[in-house]
Amino acid sequence: MKIALTVNDFLRRGELVYPDRYAIVDEPDQPAAGWGSIDYREMARRARAMAAGLDELGIDVGERVAMVSHNSARLLTAFFGVSGSGRVLVPINFRLVAAEVSYIVEHSGARLLLVDPELAEALDGVECERKMIIGAESDTVLMKFDVEPKPWEPDENATATINYTSGTTARPKGVQLTHRNVWINATTFGWHMGVSDRDVYLHTLPQFHCNGWGMLYAVSAMGGKHVIIRKIDGHEILRRVEQHGVTLICGAPAVLNAVLDAASELAATGKPIPGRKRVRIVVAGAPPPTTTIERTEVELGWEFVQIYGLTETAPLITINRNRIEYDKLSSFERAQKLSRAGAPSFGTTMAIDAEGEILARSNTVMAGYWEQPDQTDAAISGGFFHTGDGGIIDDDHYVVISDRKKDVIISGGENVSSIEVEDAIFQHPDVTEVAVIGIPDEKWGELVTALVVTVAGSELNEASLIAFAKERLAGYKCPKRIEFRAELARTATGKLQKFKLREPFWADADKKVN
């Protein structure tokens, strides 16, 4: 017997087993008038109402519905109401400007665009066949409780979502994730993290970001409670951890740093840190410095877990979680172990090609880029997905990321990992941000250069920071030049835009390597 794997499985089980249990605690300050607290029976009812509304609007199976929204109960439910009825959800990054949103709406061919009220003015010029402001307007038109939605014949190979990449070097690409992709990712991720019906999940991770990494599906299947937070603030995260008994969080390193900063302020006043020995925090997006990992265990008392993946892999392909073998290590030694990207997730095969690029083979790898077959063929070839990241697989079979391939610095004939240099510099207490790049140099080929942001009032200078780095790195890896900046260029999803940071240094060069 073969039953199609679809996103419906997750909410269906939540409704069946836990109908009267709170499913969602919406953000109380939603500009669209939040949904408050609803149980799994009501969440499923609203997902079906959304599907019925799409029927009435004439949006057929396979057609695209775009949604630009901060985290909300409505967006969470749309992952089931839209995708679960055979349509394709296009969750768009709410940090993008109007021109970028317009490109995605047009490129995806979305017939309906739903816009967060807070973004209505900024996105006023974005056009779509049908456009609604999320809230009273969308609820009136889209939520049809009085009729049953048309049945959809489940197809696990159908596209569930199109998720647009952040586009650091070019136009964003639409990643087609099938129901099978997201189903296997969610169940695998949930298994690795031990998600259970006792979990309370705080949505610090944007739901648009690769479908909340799939954790929103996994938590729903197990009847966990979703606590929505709209905007990230370290103190507010800690308050909700205490108020709701949060056990699980996902987010980028910046989220963890905000929590650590807030916790330091709490500790200075003698107040306890909420969630000790209870919270698991899953971090991805960039390898956090070892000092940050250690502080998570020592100062917060939370379990740190690192995963690695891309939107194209739904995203989980490696995971690094504390092991019994690490119990006798010091906190710093454990942090060093946990700084690796991780071992292959269940069902994934990892490899490194002759050029040092990390490759992955998994059921979570996308179907392809929407309407970009050439880009798809370039990314998926030889039976593997090509990540574009450089690294190694160590003796423990753990993946260690050294850099984006194009970001490797070759200085004096030696390869230098910018991530390793950044990790060392970031250990200095005055450093809040750092980006390491290679710039042209007549003697060394490329000069290792650090662009650094420091805490307010710091008197840190170039010589002392280089000396600090030399205590932690081989001489050839240490930055030969340091520039102090007020801020560093980042994408809308918080990634460093190193190509922009490099541009001024390479402007007069005929080629971008030296």
Q: Which residues pair with 351 in a beta bridge?
A: 359
3-state class (DSSP) for residue 393: strand
Type and span of the H or E element at 108: helix 98-108
Give me the residue label for tokens 């519905």: 65
| The amino acid at 275 | G
Q: CB atoms < 10 A from the CB of 490, how many?
A: 17
- State the pTM of this model: 0.86
CA distance 82 to 159: 11
Residue 168 has a pLDDT of 42
Contacts of 300 (CB under 8 A, 6+ apart): 259, 260, 263, 273, 275, 276, 279
pLDDT tens across 369-425, in order? 999 999 999 999 999 999 988 899 999 999 998 866 666 687 866 768 888 889 889
Contacts of 270 (CB under 8 A, 6+ apart): none
Tell whether the model's pLDDT for residue 476 goes beyond 60. Answer: yes
Q: Which residues pair with 67 in a beta bridge?
A: 91, 114
CA distance 344 to 360: 9
Q: What is the mean pLDDT of residues 106-118?
A: 98
Extract the tokens encoding 200.
């309370």
pLDDT mean across residues, the chain = 93
Give me the residue label for tokens 């709170």: 22
Residue 10 has a pLDDT of 98
Q: What is the mean pLDDT of residues 361-375?
A: 97
Residue 472 has a pLDDT of 86
Picking from 341, 364, 361, 342, the residue whose alpha carbon sits closest to that of residue 351 is 361
Residue 80 has a pLDDT of 98
Residue 514 has a pLDDT of 59
Lowest mean pLDDT among 164-173, 194-203, 299-308, 440-449: 164-173
Q: What is the mean pLDDT of residues 343-371?
A: 97
The structural domains of the chain, ordered by start, are 349-403 (2.30.38.10), 408-506 (3.30.300.30)
Whether the CB-CB separation of 185 and 214 falls below 8 Å is answered with yes
Alpha-carbon torsion (326, 330, 335, 336), positive or negative: negative
Of 302 and 478, the one with more pLDDT: 302
pLDDT tens across 24-37, in order? 999 999 999 999 99
* Burial of 252 (C-beta count, 10 Å sphere; 0-12/13-18/19+): buried
DSSP state of 397: S
Compute and round to an integer the Cα radius of gyration of the chain.
Answer: 23
pLDDT tens across 265-317, in order? 999 999 999 999 999 999 997 778 899 999 999 999 999 999 999 999 999 99
Give me the residue label for tokens 């940050």: 292
CA distance 212 to 227: 13
Tell whether the model's pLDDT for residue 169 goes beyond 50. Answer: no
Instruction: Report the percentage of the chain scoring pLDDT > 70.
Output: 96
CA distance 28 to 45: 21
Of 476 and 284, the one with more pLDDT: 284
CA distance 161 to 179: 8
What are the two backbone dihedrals, phi and then psi, of residue 89, each rounded to the nearest 5 degrees?
A: -85, 135
Give me the residue label for tokens 């060069």: 509
Residue 356 — left, alpha, or beta (φ > 0 → left; ψ -120 to 50 → alpha)?
Answer: left
Residue 486 has a pLDDT of 92
Pairing of strands 225-228, 22-25: parallel
What b/e string do you get for 203-220 counting C-beta neighbours within 10 Å, with b at 16 or more?
A: bbbbbbbbbbbbbbbbbb
What's the Cα-to-Cα distance from 233 to each of 72, 204, 259, 261, rounded to whole Å? 16, 9, 8, 10
Q: CB atoms < 10 A from the CB of 302, how many?
A: 24
The helices-and-strands tally (H runs, E runs) of the chain is 15, 26
pLDDT tens across 493-512, in order? 677 788 788 889 988 876 56
What are the two backbone dihedrals, phi and then psi, of residue 20, each rounded to the nearest 5 degrees?
A: -95, 5
Extract the tokens encoding 18.
């836990």
CA distance 58 to 141: 12
